[in-house]
Structure 1
Amino acid sequence: MLWNVDLTLLDAGRVMRAAYADAFERVTGDPLVYLTSAEGRTDSEMFFEFCARNDTEVEPDTDSLERFLAALEDAFAQRVDELPAKGRAMPGAAASLAAVAGMPDTVQTVVSGGTRGTATAKLRAFGLDAYLDLSIGGFGSVNYPKSSLIQSIRLHAAGDGGHTYTERETVLITGSVPDIRAAVIGGAVPIAVLTGSTTEGRLREAGAAEVLADLTDPRALMTAVHRATAA
């Protein structure tokens, strides 16, 4: 079971936007005037778009990307204490994670556009990390699209001589259209949650096998998972 983090399990947008601006200015010396949507993007992808949209002379290459990601983790770490006041766990997130953890032969982790350090800090701030195996998660610390992260997670979840999860046995929970498309490409069954502004029609059109109003009913989530993965 793969979970998108932002606006699926939690909302840390206000703190994250401040960290992006801080990190970008540290690395480029220029203010981050024009933001971009984080939906479906990794932090690596966002850095290159920040450079394209904002007036900076810094060359967006591997070196500047590494410096940006390091600065971003530091900038977020300095603001993590603001999360209780400026962020929140999404309704039902903890209960749904706990319910799925009780399902037999199920491993839970995340596929996040954020770096490993930032995503872990967010989850810990709201007590959601205990249900997840973050050692096999996919994170925006590497410059790969989310579809590639999903494929990588399936390989790591098997381990040495472990169970190899098929595409039909791999589920992604998200509220994002780009993430739904990434799941289809990366080999996972997408289940959508209406936690953002995206409509049910758009999520189904993108390929969502099931659509839930929210995570407040863990039984409905598990039923959706069973339906979506029943070959």
Structure 2
Amino acid sequence: MRLVMWDIDHTLLYAGGIASLAYAPAFTAVTGMPWRAMAFTAGRTDRDIAVETFAMHGIDDYEPHLDEFFALFAEEFAARRELLLERGYLMPGVREVLGALDTRPDVVQTLVTGNIRPIAVDKLTAFDLAELVDFEIGGYGTEDTVRATLVRRSLERAAAKHDRPFDPADVIVVGDTAYDVAAALANGVTAIGVATGHTSADALAAAGAHVVLRDLSDVPAVLTLLSA
């Protein structure tokens, strides 16, 4: 059985910057502090981003705030989710690839994403992709500042749900940043880089990706790569 772990942002879709709109009011509601700026986000987990953002505002003792912050962040995002279809879009070939893999009984699709789970669900639901992935076995951005941990948690959940370990040779992480590649390599699984984000194909290859794709638009070739 093949296990495919998808990153979301700039791999499956562009969410139109809605998360950044939700971040500031959630932060101010929790801390009472005026908003200054958000830490760099690409490829990082929401926990990692939050820790740095809190530090940028002079808050080093972030732990007491995180649970409430993530809950409010999810609420603020949900209040704006109608903007996803106005401002966002799917990356080329995504719907066709995920839809075709969903018909394969020997392929399981899930998410390993820096997003917190409620926001991951909102993003995929907006683009009618939610039924194509197993959210239950995914790895999400609240779980660690290190993305490799998310891959490991997903592997553990998949093994428990399917009552069998997955051979590392049958596990693929697909993402658009060097963080995705590093997380795959740290767990001994295949890393496929997709150059649809801010990281170039050359940089993904230099990070150690086993395969680098321009995008997912060559659907037959991508399906062969992910399911053969």
Q: TM-score, normalised by structure 2?
A: 0.92
Q: Which residue of 2 aligns with 1:95?
A: 96
Aligned residue identity for 1:179: D
Q: Which runs of 5+ in 1 are unaligned?
A: none
Residues 5-56 of structure 1: CA deviation (Å, up to 9, x unaligned): 11111111411110111211111222332222212211111111001223x4
Superposed CA offset, 1:131-178 (max 9, x none): 101111111122352201111111211226623112211101111111
Aligned residue number for residue 133 of structure 1: 134
Counterparts of 1:1-231 in structure 2, within 5 Å, are: 1-54=4-57, 56=58, 58-159=59-160, 162-225=163-226
Q: One-letter code of the match for 2:17?
A: R
Q: Give the root-mean-square deviation of aligned CA atoms.
A: 1.7
CA 1:13–1:41: 2 relative to 1, 3 Å: farther
Counterpart CA distance in 1 for 2:110 and 2:186 is 19
Cα pair distance change 1:36/1:59, threshold 3 Å = closer
Q: Secondary structure at the match of 1:38?
A: coil
Q: Secondary structure of the residue that 2:107 maps to in structure 1?
A: coil
71-80 or 91-100, larger mean C-alpha shift: 91-100
One-letter code aligned to 1:215: L
* Structure 2 Cα separation of the partners of residues 105 and 60 of structure 1: 45
Alignment partners' CA distance in 1, 2:222 and 2:162? 30
Letter in 2 for 1:91: P
Identical residues among aligned pairs (%)? 34
Distance in 2 (CA, whole Å) between partners of 1:100 and 1:201 is 27
Greater relative contact order (CA < 8 Å, ≥ 6 in sequence) = 2
In 1, the alpha carbon distance for the partners of 2:35 and 2:207 equals 31
Cα distance between partner residues in 1 of 2:208 and 2:87: 32
Determine if contact 2:10/2:196 at 8 Å carries over to the other structure. yes
Q: Is the 8 A contact 1:150 1:187 kept in 2?
A: no
Aligned AA for 1:168? Answer: A
Native 8 Å contact 1:25 1:31 kept in 2: yes
Question: Which stretches in structure 2 are left out of the alignment for 5+ residues?
Answer: none
CA distance in 2 between partners of 1:31 and 1:50 (Å): 12
Q: How many residues align?
A: 225
1:103 is displaced (CA, Å) by 3.4
TM-score normalized by structure 1? 0.91
CA deviations 1:98-137 (Å, max 9, x no partner) are 1222334111000111111111011000111111011111
Partners of 1:195 and 1:213 within 8 A in 2 = yes
State the SS of the aligned residue for 1:107: strand
Which amino acid counterpart does residue 50 of structure 2 have in structure 1? Answer: F
